[in-house]
Amino acid sequence: MSEAVEQAAINKSPLIESHRRAGAIMEERDGWLVPASYGDVSSEYRAVREEGAGLSDLSSRGRIEISGTEAVLFLNGLITNDVKALDENAWMAAAFPNVQGRMLAHARVLHQDKTFLFDTETVTRETILKTLGRFTLAGDFSVRDLTHETALLSVQGARASEIVRAALGDDAASVERGRIANASWKDERLSIIRATHTAEDGFDLFTGAAGSGSLWEALSQAGARPVGTDALEILRIEAGLPRYGVDVNETKVVLETGLDDAVSFTKGCYIGQEIIARIHFRGHVAKRLSGVMLDAEGEARAGDKIRTPEGKEIGWITSLARSPILNRTIALGYVKYDYLKAGTPLRVLSNEAEVEAHVAELPFVRGSWYESEQAGR
């Protein structure tokens, strides 16, 4: 890729020079130049799963700020979760459905200083901007795209808390789930949330673009190892987390995606609520995103059909990876409701050959985040 093309056509993180100094292999994905790896995907994977913690640049995700006295009113009519019930310095997951209850975007909503920051995947940034922008002339409701003014770093792994504490102090490392810790970094606000992208303990750090490079260096010096998107994709699938445009799109009803924590069933009306509520209270979805583990040395591809041992078609594969820790090919896919029980035998039709598989409970790999969730129940 020529420098001229790169400059003209591709978005770049403010951390681009940090990545290059670390020997990153850069690739264009979804219109952004991102570090695919730092030369050794296996070592990056182990840094998160086995050795301590990994450090990733998620700045290509969209960050959109909403403010105004009518922000809560408008937002509550657009998203599945209850903005009115979201405290200051707290955050939650939410989805943007259409009138059929199908998902247009998934986001995290951070509430600070009477403003709401929507953090969303790269491919759904424009969708959210367009959806929210329609209301800027309807009342006191302002929308600002902060994607290029800010950066998002993530520390993931069993030692994530230790590393964040060494770099940023006790308050940052002790932030509770669902809450936001605030600090200052290079004279800019630093907002910290506890969040996982890997089923391991994790922290996401939102900061200004100008200070992001020095924050990256501080976390690296504290012991976090750079991890690129190739390793993150394996970790994501092991954690059972859907990705928009791959596992989820505008044809899927929100409740089919497994993102139940993004929906409030007690709030007032919003776009698509009738269908989502009807599914929840009167029955169940016809199919749902599930884990599929291929047996032995089986391989498959996204789009492959899922069948019962008797040959009945009951779903399809959406994304898959070879899990180093399980030494198996694992996949996410949609499976009809009657076959969702863990252990249910399956057949995956790949290249006209049937590969034995079974339904697997998510997450595939139960890291430190999952273990602490279970202990807290």
pLDDT, tens only, 138-166? 899 999 999 999 999 999 999 999 999 99
How many other CB atoms are there within 10 angstroms of residue 64's CB atom? Answer: 20
Select from 137, 129, 194 the least CA-distant residue to 160.
Answer: 194
| Residue limits of CATH 3.30.1360.120 in the chain | 3-54+148-239
Verdict on whether the full-model pTM lies above 0.85:
yes
Report the SS3 class of residue 316: strand
| Residue range(s) in the chain whose domain bears CATH number 3.30.70.1400 | 62-145
Question: Which pLDDT does position 9 carry in this prediction?
Answer: 65
Please say if the pLDDT value at position 107 is more than 80: yes
Give the CATH number of domain 62-145: 3.30.70.1400
**Which is nearest to 79 in space by CA: 3, 154, 131?**
131
CATH of region 3-54+148-239: 3.30.1360.120
Domain with CATH 2.40.30.110 in the chain: 286-377
How confident is the model over 114-119, as a mean pLDDT? 97
Domain 286-377 bears CATH identifier 2.40.30.110: yes
Mean pLDDT of 109-125: 97
SS3 of residue 50 by DSSP: helix
| Extended beta strands in the chain, E state | 11-12, 25-29, 32-37, 54-57, 62-67, 90-97, 103-112, 115-120, 142-145, 150-156, 180-185, 188-194, 202-208, 225-226, 287-294, 305-307, 313-323, 328-336, 345-350, 353-360
Residue 352, pLDDT score: 80
| Overall average pLDDT of the 16-20 stretch | 96
- pLDDT digits 0-9 by tens, 196-221: 999 999 999 999 999 999 999 999 99
d(CA 131, CA 241): 24
| Whole-number Å distance between alpha carbons of 364 and 370 | 11
Provide, rounded to the nearest whole percent, the portion of the chain with pLDDT above 90: 88
Q: If pLDDT is split at 50, 70 and 90, which confidence band does 170 have?
A: very high
